[in-house]
Amino acid sequence: MYWQKLKTYTIPEAEKRVGIILLIVLLLPILAFTVFELSRLNSNEQMIQEIYSNQLDAVLFSVNQYSNDVLNQWANEFSINEEAENIPIFLQQFIDYNPAVKEIILFSFSENNEIKSEKYSLDNNELIIDKSLDSTWQNIVFQEQEVIKKQAEFIKNNYQKIEVFPIERDSLVPMTFALKSEFEGMGFVALMVNTQIFIEDILAPKLQEVTRDKFIMTSFVTKPDKRQTYFTDSLNLDEVTLSRPLWLLPDHYLGIAMKGNNIDKISKARTKQNLYIMLFIDVFLLLAIYLVYRNIRKEIVLARVKSEFVSNVSHEIRTPLAMISMFAETLLEGRVKNEDKKVTYYKMITDEALRLNGTVNKILNFSKIESGKQRFEFFPTDLQLMVDTCLQSYQSQFSINNFEVSFNKKPNLPLVSADKQSLSEAINNLIDNAIKYSKERREIIISTAKKGKFVLLTIQDFGIGIPTEYQKDIFNRFYRVPNHDIHDTKGTGLGLTLVKHIIDAHKGKIELNSALNKGTTFKLYLQPIETDI
Ligand code: ADP
């Protein structure tokens, strides 16, 4: 059927379409924007990092450059004093002025490539000259003779190249250079520099000068263990942002970090903050999209339900009208002679008119509720009496449809505060439904009780039941459980909306208990007039 087709396919399609449109129009741009912003944040951070690390690198470079300058200056002093009359005095003064230089070794290669050397050191301010061969030293020079001899060639071209050999003996590192003219008959000098004193005496003042209040610098060795040899301010090695080898001292490094909140940390914190803001905006937008989608969906469902309602109401009105006109015509034409049959026909006309009246009333009441014009007048009411009256009006229906109905009354039930007309309408709606939605087992049990501070009315049937997933919706206007079996039973989807509204107006509660194919129980909790039974 066209109508069923419309119901089953068109509406979910429409919902899907809305979903897809929202996805394309809103979600995708948001995602694209987020990805773009994230990559921008990332590249910004990288740029800041780069600038920052370049700056740190420059500082480390300047310290290395400075230690090179110191060494060059030392070599220079030797060149200036090449002509000195008393070389031992010069050497003594040199060691004296430069505590980092512990020993000065003068050495040369003889014609048959043997190594001659003299070692000068201070002991109690006295220059000690050791002419015996230091075997470690001899070995180093022997191994490195190619490099050392090249230094002699460089000096002939007025370029003093200084070599630092990565060998540490008793914390002394050799730094060699060649001399233009011989010194005590030797062509090369090796300054044996104590690394720790070099750092403390020569580098420390420079480090203090460059760091000022901005940086913290530290020097450290990596062998045999990683340990700090000096720092300008207390700094853990794992807090070091950037480190570079110290050119002159083997296995020695310089590390640097910014003091306080450095740019690195600030930029990271800013990135993190931006990330959170973006995340928040995204979540917010997603929520907005979800709400828009939900509202549109609701509207779609409402549109569907409304058109279903029109179809249902037309049916609800057309059927009794057809019956009435059919019976009336038959009677009018005088075709029914039998008086009993006539009575049956009159009865049927009356029943159908009542049914029609019921449907129209339901719609009118609903429209009153919607426009807020419904007025209630509360009077002390005997609920059980009211139920009796309702049941009486259903007598013929019960007997035609073979219903077994029982009403278990509670003695001495308090009166309830009720608007008689509307409360009986609510009860009628529930009985109506119990009849409509019962199949094989045609039994209705009604009972009253006192429950807490409420008077309780229970209406139970053993019909088709309501699947759990639809139970929350059945009080919504126009709502009917989407099930083909049920749709064989016509209705407006307004009955329970009215019941809910009426019970709310009575400051009562409705409870629903239903299981598919087992039956449904509605419990109405109403306000009693007296508190004592
Ligand atoms: P209707 O005019 O369709 O009966 P109602 O508002 O009275 O409208 O009920 C809403 C829907 O709840 C019904 O369409 C039906 O699917 C379900 N329902 C209500 N009462 C019962 C019941 N006693 N047993 C099974 N289903 C019920």
Distance between the two ends of the chain, CA-based, in angstroms? 57
Beta carbon of 492 within 6 Å of any ligand 1 atom: yes
Backbone Cα Rg of the chain: 52
Best mutation site among 362, 480, 518 for ligand 1, i.e. most ligand atoms within 8 A of its Cβ? 480
Q: Phi then psi for 361, rounded to 5 degrees?
A: -60, -45
- Walk along the chain (533 residues) and give the pLDDT tens digit of each residue: 333 333 433 456 777 787 788 778 777 888 888 888 888 877 877 887 788 788 888 888 998 899 889 998 998 888 777 666 778 888 888 999 999 999 999 888 887 878 888 889 888 888 888 887 677 778 888 888 888 888 888 888 888 888 888 777 778 888 999 888 777 778 889 999 998 999 999 999 988 888 887 888 899 988 888 888 888 888 788 888 888 888 888 888 988 887 766 666 777 788 888 888 888 988 888 898 889 888 888 888 788 777 777 877 888 888 889 989 999 999 998 888 888 888 988 988 998 898 888 888 888 888 888 787 888 999 999 999 999 999 998 888 898 889 999 999 999 999 999 999 899 999 999 999 999 999 899 999 999 999 999 999 999 999 999 999 999 989 988 888 886 455 566 778 889 999 999 999 999 999 999 999 999 999 999 999 865 44
Beta carbon of 437 within 6 Å of any ligand 1 atom: yes
The bridge status of strand 404-408 relative to strand 443-451 is: parallel
What distance in angstroms lies between residue 463's CA and the mean position of ligand 1's atoms? 11
Question: Residue 433: how many CA atoms within 13 Å on its side-chain side?
Answer: 28
Beta carbon of 434 within 6 Å of any ligand 1 atom: yes
What distance in angstroms lies between residue 116's CA and the mean position of ligand 1's atoms? 116
Question: Residue 72: how many CA atoms within 13 Å on its side-chain side?
Answer: 9
Enumerate the domain spans of the chain: 13-65+264-324, 85-258, 328-526
* Whole-structure pTM value: 0.51
What the block records as the tokens of 512 is 């629903």
Name the CATH topology of 328-526. Answer: Heat Shock Protein 90 (3.30.565)
**Distance in angstroms (rounded) separating the CA atoms of residues 445 and 77:** 119
**Distance in angstroms (rounded) separating the CA atoms of residues 260 and 215:** 9
What the block records as the tokens of 304 is 């569907």
Beta carbon of 456 within 6 Å of any ligand 1 atom: no
